[in-house]
């Protein structure tokens, strides 16, 4: 593949720093055609589905993409907002607020949201940052817990783009922040604020996105990091082991997935006499289909039908002040050593003159 053409290099040009706030992705609309495009991209990623490609391609195009888009479109329609997909709306807000937070600390950086699947795509956002003069870019995946299917796939998209560039920006990657003290404290604030507003349930359920169990045995740290996040949050809230549960949602296919599963756990709690549960999703940076439809709607219905009386969903950190402070501090640490203030006109001219002088000597 030929390398992408580059604009002429200008000596002394101001260099800027950019941040890509990358989340999983979303369809462009809550319609079957949009879901078909989105699912085709998402489920074709070998990081997401670790089945031999020839076998999986037949299943994906012969069965799944013929039946699932319409069902998924109906689910998306139930949570779609006037501004669009909740995941994209919240990620855009986070990016804008993160740039503002960093600006208040003196960091003149460009922050743009990106989607691993769907739009705005990671390559298009990297191109936009490069066009605006970014020569140093921090990739910040919105996944507190590392997984090959999410974090590593984000890095794949970045490196695939980089392979097509003649001049690659200096790149840094945030690997994980599942046990970051400020992130845990932001989650604690979220739970306490909810309890103050809505009252406290008998059990706090911490639900994470599921993964096939085999990924744990193959060395993916995701399960262990989910458990650590849960333990740290429980300790921060002063919870005893019997006062919380850790579960996994969004199972797909016939393979064995990480357990215990969220919905069966909610039903079991109701059957055993638990009247009021609180549910939080600490693996999601912002609210999306998996939290708003699968948990706040389907999870609620399952718990109440099984005999529970009150189901309380605790929203993701979204644009909360504690969450944005934690995200800002995380980015600040990873930006360390990079020039974060834009040079003045005088400094730019001085740099240009030095470059010209050096060229004359050569």
The residues with which 204 forms a beta bridge, in sequence order, are 244, 278
Contact 154, 21 (CB under 8 A): no
Residues contacting 43, CB < 8 A, separation 6+: 49, 60, 64
Per DSSP, helices labelled H in the chain are 32-42, 53-59, 65-77, 86-104, 122-131, 153-162, 181-198, 213-217, 222-237, 262-271, 289-292, 300-305, 321-334, 345-361
Give CA 297 to chain center in angstroms. 21
Q: ω into residue 46 within 30 of 0, thus cis?
A: no
Report the relative pairing of strands 244-249 and 170-173 from DSSP bridges: unpaired
Would the annotation count 349 as a binding residue? no
CA distances from 204 to 43, 267, 351, 356, 360 (A): 32, 14, 57, 64, 69
Angle value at C-alpha 206, between 223 and 76, nearest 5 degrees: 95
What is the four-CA torsion angle of 107, 127, 38, 287, rounded to 10 degrees?
10
Would the annotation count 209 as a binding residue? yes
Distance CA 162, CA 139 (A): 13
Distance CA 216, CA 96 (A): 35
- DSSP class of residue 218 equals T
Give CA 321 to chain center in angstroms. 18
Q: ω into residue 211 within 30 of 0, thus cis?
A: no
Question: Residues annotated in the binding site for Fe(2+), as ranges?
Answer: 209, 290
Question: Residues annotated in the binding site, as ranges?
Answer: 209, 290
């Amino acid at each position: 593949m030929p390398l992408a053409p580059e604009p002429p290099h200008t000596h002394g040009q101001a260099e800027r720093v950019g941040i890509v706030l990358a989340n999983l992705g979303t369809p462009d609309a809550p319609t079957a055609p949009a879901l078909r495009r989105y699912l085709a991209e998402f489920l074709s990623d070998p990081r997401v589905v670790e089945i031999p490609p020839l076998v999986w391609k037949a299943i994906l195009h012969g069965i799944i993409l013929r039946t699932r888009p319409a069902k998924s479109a109906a689910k998306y329609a139930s949570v779609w907002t006037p501004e669009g997909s909740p995941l994209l709306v919240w990620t855009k807000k986070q990016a804008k607020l993160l740039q503002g937070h960093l600006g208040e600390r003196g960091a003149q950086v460009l922050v743009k949201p990106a989607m691993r699947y769907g739009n705005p795509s990671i390559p298009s956002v990297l191109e936009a940052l490069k066009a605006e003069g970014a020569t140093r870019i921090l990739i910040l995946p919105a996944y507190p817990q590392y997984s090959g299917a999410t974090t590593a796939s984000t890095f794949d998209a970045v490196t695939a783009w980089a392979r097509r560039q003649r001049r690659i920006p200096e790149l840094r990657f945030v690997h994980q922040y599942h046990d970051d003290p400020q992130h845990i404290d932001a989650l604690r604030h979220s739970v306490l604020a909810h309890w103050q507003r809505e009252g406290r349930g008998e059990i706090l359920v911490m639900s994470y996105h599921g993964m096939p169990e085999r990924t744990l045995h193959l060395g993916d740290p995701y399960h262990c990091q989910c458990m650590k996040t849960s333990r740290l949050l429980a300790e921060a809230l002063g919870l005893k082991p019997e006062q919380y549960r850790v579960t996994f949602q969004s199972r797909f296919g016939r393979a064995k997935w990480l357990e215990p599963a969220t919905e069966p756990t909610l039903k079991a709690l109701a059957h055993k006499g638990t009247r009021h549960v609180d549910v939080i999703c600490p693996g999601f940076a912002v609210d999306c289909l998996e939290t708003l439809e699968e948990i706040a709607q389907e999870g609620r219905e399952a718990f109440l039908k099984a005999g529970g009386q009150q189901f309380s969903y605790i929203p993701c950190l979204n644009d909360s002040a504690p969450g944005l402070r934690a995200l800002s501090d995380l980015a600040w640490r990873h930006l360390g050593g990079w020039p974060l203030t834009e040079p003045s006109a005088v400094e730019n001219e001085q740099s240009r003159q030095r470059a010209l002088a050096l060229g004359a000597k050569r």
